[in-house]
Amino acid sequence: MRRLNPIDAQFVDAEDQDRQASFAIATVAIFEGPAPAYERFMRAIEERLPLVPIYRKKLRTVPLRLGPPVWVDDPRFDLRYHVRQTALPPPGDDARLADLMARVMSQRLDRDYPLWEYWLVKGLSKRRWALISKVHHCMVDGVSGSDMYRVIFDGAPEPSLPAGSCAPAPGAASPAQAEPATRGEPSALALTAHAAAEMAALPVRQIRALASALSSPAGAVKRVEQTARAVARLAPSAWPASRSSLSGPIGRQRRYAWARVSLDDVKAVKNALGGTVNDVVLAAISGGFRSLLLARGEQPAPHMVPSLVPVSVRGEGEENMYENRLSVLMADLPVQIADPVGRLTAVRTELASLKASKEAAAGEALVALGWLTPYPLASLCVRLAYQLPQREIVTVTTNVPGPSQPLYAMGRKLLEIIPYVPIATTMRIGVSIFSYCGSVTFGITGDYASTPDIGTLAGGIESGIEDLLAAAG
């Protein structure tokens, strides 16, 4: 029995409070060659399960919310419930796959079961097939979710796990680390007692944290100063965004689309015009939102598209720890600037300012504070926050670097990976970026009712890269 960390628990609390949101993240992996038979695919996943022990665990809520939810073994685990198959109608193109992805992601994961699903998708055009990987955000973040690909898939056409073997893939957790999945579920009384013991131990953790700070007063003062500056830098982000059709009430159903660009093109822009890969893709997204607003007859203005930008705070070697280790930045996307080079310059300036102010330190400080705050109070704060009107965040843009070398499943080459990011509250659109093997894909999530023109944003992102390439010569 392992309790959720403060960030993981927030995703559960937020989903409980927001009836229109599903906090599952996902990817669509597209493979070449004929699709494998369902039974063979099932066996391949079953062989890898010991490498991902959390896939056999489900979430249990502590009575009266006395403590954060905990992971417990599912004594009735059934792999067939989690591994599903379907097929696209002809012609099996991107539009049909996007529609399927939107329908799959519109449904919440059932908490009576481990919080993940795999969908084997047949019927793609050009002799391809796909795998939709859907996992609740309380289980993984983008980095650890990406690392799962290295565990589930192979680095060469020949499978690294022969039939019946449980040898770990390179860099994966050893099966010896897998916890047995045969223990029964804890009772409500046991969960309550465990939570009460944790609350009783909280003052000890608080004293230890204080003692640690006092043992190095100079370091503690420096951290407080950095956090104070970061909070001061973050304060303007709390101003309501300029009104636009990008923000407002959402429903439960989703739309989905994606854009594709070459990583070499992104790097060419970076090398010619300056900045980082992340600067270039955010400038392209800014151009896409500008195109969408103009197509809707709205004039782009400053502070119209403030974006939540998750930042990984994982240390090296922590990629395969399946939990969230995130902080956040708030960046204003410069949609009011018509010139593509001017947008890139504005993005570079904004992100450089955020990094210099160590704004991510404020998020890290809040996470650290979460470990020292009684869970009932922390949970209440999260749920109350989701009841308040929200006009400060219009979108979320998350960028995850994926594998740079090709991966394979049962001998079939993985061609591309397209990400999915959830939306909630009044965010009608979210954009996730994923790089794999020389390509960059932008997965775009939209509210079904308010975003029928989601393709305009996808086309605007691709045009944004083309415009920057032209400017870079």
Contact 415, 382 (CB under 8 A): no
**406: its two tokens:** 């090709």
| CA–CA dist 121, 29 (Å, integer) | 10
Strands (E), 114-154: 116-124, 128-136
| CA–CA dist 396, 73 (Å, integer) | 33
Dihedral of the alpha carbons of 356, 358, 359, 363, in degrees to the nearest 10: 160
**107: its two tokens:** 């449904």
**290: its two tokens:** 């500008």
Catalytic residue among 136, 137, 194, 303: 137
Q: Which residues pair with 447 in a beta bridge?
A: 254
Count other Cβ atoms within 10 Å, centred on residue 327. 20
Residue 137: active-site member: yes
| CA–CA dist 472, 97 (Å, integer) | 34
Contact 440, 434 (CB under 8 A): yes
Strand pairing class (395-401; 306-312): parallel
User: Under 8 Å CB-to-CB from 291, ≥6 apart: which residues?
Assistant: 456, 457, 459, 460, 463, 464
**171: its two tokens:** 């860099």
| CA–CA dist 195, 218 (Å, integer) | 35
**42: its two tokens:** 């099932």
What separation in angstroms does the CA of 329 have from each of 300, 303, 310, 340, 407? 22, 15, 6, 23, 32
**Per residue in 365-395, is it b (16+ CB within 10 Å) or e — as a string?**
bbbeebeebebbebbeebbeebeeebbbbbb
Active site residues: 137
